[in-house]
């Protein structure tokens, strides 16, 4: 029976398994960030490269954090400054919805480098802190989750999963066995009025 199932295509296996969402077999490296704290971030201004705002978490300079504007996908950032509850974050990837161009960080030094365009805003985001990154290998994925080869991650752990070509997503470890974990992506939370 096992040999028969192994010889089937992904689509045929998905039909046979009668799952709600078919799994796609992959072999892709993933970065896993086990979540330590999660809080609201009141964003006060944004530029293509970063943002500033207020957060109740105690953050440290150069700490790696993750920010979500839609509570589904996350962007990795570095804490560049802290002043009480206010903080400034430098994002790994530019925000495409902010107009203007940022100065070239790798360009020749100029005495007065022009500052990137900043927009004053007033909206909420989610800020997440995590433990140091773990590295695993994605074995299969679907719309709702994925199976990752990695040891030492316990059932119930909430984490962010980052891999090339996909959004950084938050999920919970549903099961852990034999050096593999099953992650179920947390559904998007709807805003309440």
Q: Residue 2's pLDDT band (boundaries 50, 70, 90)?
A: very low
Nearest Cα to 41, choosing from 127, 170, 129, 130?
127
In this structure, are strands 24-46 and 73-83 parallel, antiparallel, or unpaired? unpaired
What pLDDT was estimated at residue 77? 96
CB 142 within 8 A of CB 156: no
Tokens, residue 78: 């570095």
Residue 14 has pLDDT above 60, yes or no: no
* 38-96+114-130 CATH, one of 3.90.1180.10, 3.40.220.10, 1.10.3720.10, 2.40.10.170: 2.40.10.170
Domain boundaries, the chain: 38-96+114-130
Q: Residue 17's pLDDT band (boundaries 50, 70, 90)?
A: low
Least-confidence region, from 12-16, 66-70, 86-90, 118-122: 12-16
What pLDDT was estimated at residue 193? 37
pTM of structure: 0.75
Percent of the chain with pLDDT over 90: 60
**CA distance from start to end of the chain:** 53
Neighbouring C-beta atoms of residue 127, cutoff 10 Å: 26
Residue 65 has pLDDT above 90, yes or no: yes
Residue 85 has pLDDT above 80, yes or no: yes
Averaged pLDDT for residues 61-89: 95
Higher pLDDT, residue 111 or 32: 32
Residue 169 has pLDDT above 80, yes or no: yes
């Amino acid at each position: 029976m096992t040999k028969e199932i192994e010889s089937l295509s992904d689509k045929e296996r998905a039909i046979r398994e009668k799952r709600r969402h078919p799994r796609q077999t992959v072999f892709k490296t993933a970065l896993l960030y086990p979540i330590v704290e999660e809080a609201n971030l009141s964003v006060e201004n944004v530029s293509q490269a970063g943002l500033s705002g207020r957060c109740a978490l105690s953050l440290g300079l150069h700490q790696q954090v993750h920010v979500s504007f839609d509570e589904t996908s996350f962007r990795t950032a570095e804490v560049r400054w802290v002043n009480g509850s206010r903080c400034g974050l430098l994002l790994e990837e530019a925000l495409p919805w902010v107009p203007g161009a940022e100065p070239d960080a790798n360009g020749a030094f100029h005495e007065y480098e022009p500052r990137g365009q900043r927009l004053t805003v007033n909206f909420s985001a989610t800020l997440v802190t995590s433990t140091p990154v773990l590295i695993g290998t994605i074995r299969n994925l679907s719309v709702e989750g994925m199976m990752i080869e990695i040891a030492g991650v316990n059932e119930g752990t909430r984490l962010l999963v980052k891999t090339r070509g996909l959004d950084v997503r938050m999920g919970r470890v549903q099961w852990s066995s034999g050096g593999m974990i099953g992650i179920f992506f947390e559904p998007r939370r709807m805003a309440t009025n």
